[in-house]
Amino acid sequence: MPFLKANTSFHEIDTTEGFDKTFDAITKLVEPTVIHIRVDSVSTDLRQEMIENLVQNHGFVNLDVNILIKDENERKTEIGLEFLSMTSLGKNITGEMIVRMLKKIIYSGQDDRNKFILTSFPDIIDHAREFEKSCSHITAMIYAVSKEPIVEIKNNNLSVFNLDAMFQKNYKLRIIDEWNYRTFQEKLGNKIDFGVVHGRSLSGKSEVCSQIKKLMGYKVIDMK
């Protein structure tokens, strides 16, 4: 196992905590992290700041659907020709077609990319459902706003245009009013815990750290 961990994309899954937690752990390894960032009318600069930081510093890939569609059209790919055919007939490009395009990019295997930002998509519930059915779960919808909005669900009604309410109901709507990566990670449920192991020479610090790493999955940072 140490050899596999060091030389391959091997992952170890703890199966002692029941099927649901085991399956969630497997899903997190297989499925990418996908977020969708939305804004109010005055917070576009904050969204741009978030996207630039996530792309430049944290390994995210920004998938701007409008730019991707234009690129597929210009290159006259198979899906691009389908887009051109639909628009020439005066029809809207369907969510299913957009998801097929995104799925091809997300699961291309290029550079082990597994963190993505969806821009300009989805805008309605049907598109979000199509994406989650045919491509991947959306980890969270981030609302980049200067003032926290109130999302109200009346009579459990989720209309076709009520995308915000859908994510709110599924506990996946996250509000961010200023850019901070640690806050962003916590909003996604990825809290980082730190502990300090301190002692005199030969007191057993290395062994304690080794056991914590082995039993609890911590990463050891040696200050030397």
CATH of residue 80's domain is 3.40.50.300
Residue 36 phi, psi (nearest 5)? -125, 125
What number of other Cβ atoms are within 10 A of residue 168's Cβ? Answer: 19
Whether residues 197 and 163 fall in one domain = no
Whether residues 130 and 209 fall in one domain = no
Range of the domain at 205: 193-224
Whether residues 126 and 78 fall in one domain = yes
Whether residues 111 and 125 fall in one domain = yes
pLDDT recorded at residue 160: 43
Whether residues 39 and 137 fall in one domain = yes
Whether residues 18 and 40 fall in one domain = no
The total of structural domains in the chain comes to 3
The average pLDDT across 150-178 equals 69
Whether residues 146 and 221 fall in one domain = no
The average pLDDT across 62-74 equals 95
Whether residues 203 and 109 fall in one domain = no
- Per-residue pLDDT reduced to its tens digit, 70-84: 999 999 999 999 999
- Per-residue pLDDT reduced to its tens digit, 7-59: 877 888 888 888 888 877 777 777 889 999 987 766 688 899 999 999 998 88
Residue 70 phi, psi (nearest 5)? -60, -40
The separation between CA 133 and the C-alpha centre of its own chain, rounded to angstroms, equals: 16
At residue 158, does pLDDT exceed 60? no
Whether residues 95 and 198 fall in one domain = no
Which residues does residue 117 pair with via DSSP β-bridges, in sequence order? 35, 62
- Per-residue pLDDT reduced to its tens digit, 129-144: 999 988 888 999 998 8
Supply the pTM of this predicted model: 0.68
Report the phi/psi class of residue 82: left, alpha or beta, with left for phi > 0 and alpha for psi in -120 to 50: alpha
At residue 85, does pLDDT exceed 90? yes
pLDDT recorded at residue 157: 53
Whether residues 18 and 102 fall in one domain = no
Whether residues 223 and 112 fall in one domain = no
Whether residues 23 and 47 fall in one domain = no
pLDDT recorded at residue 75: 94
Q: What is the mean pLDDT of the chain?
A: 84
pLDDT recorded at residue 18: 85
